[in-house]
Amino acid sequence: IGCGVQASNTASYGDAFNAAGGGVWATQFDVAGVFIWYWNRSSVPDALKRSSTSKTLNISSWGAPTGSFPSISCDIAKYFGPQRLTLDIDLC
């Protein structure tokens, strides 16, 4: 059981990702559902490029998410607790 998404941007991983200079993944995780965006480095929204002390983001200019898992039939708060993000960047 699960769901899958196939991104239309083929530069979101692997050699094409590296050739594009990397990129940015962003996730909105709340009671409305889980929504995931991806941008090539050259397409990252300005609001994400700037340093800010704000605790909120206006995501209305981000466009359609790459992955969208709305909580139509799933009570997100019931099944998901606080999340922890671990970044593992291996350099070789």
In tens, the pLDDT along 46-55 reads: 888 877 777 7
With contact defined as beta carbons under 8 Å apart, do 20 and 11 qualify?
Answer: yes
Q: Note whether residue 38 is domain-resident.
A: yes
Domain membership flag for residue 31? yes
Q: Report yes or no on 6 lying in a domain.
A: no
- Residue-level pLDDT, tens digit, the chain, 92 residues: 567 777 788 888 889 999 989 899 999 988 899 899 999 988 888 888 877 777 788 888 899 999 988 888 888 888 888 888 787 777 66
Asked whether residue 18 is assigned to any structural domain, the reply reads yes
Query: Is residue 29 a part of any domain in this protein?
Result: yes
Report helix, strand or coil for 38: strand
Spell out the alpha helix ranges (H) of 43-82.
46-49, 76-79
Structural domain for 39, as ranges: 14-79
For position 38, what pLDDT does the model report? 93
Q: How many other C-beta atoms can be found within 10 angstroms of the C-beta atom of residue 17?
A: 17
- 5 located within any domain: no
Domains in the chain, number: 1
Is residue 3 included in any domain, yes or no?
A: no
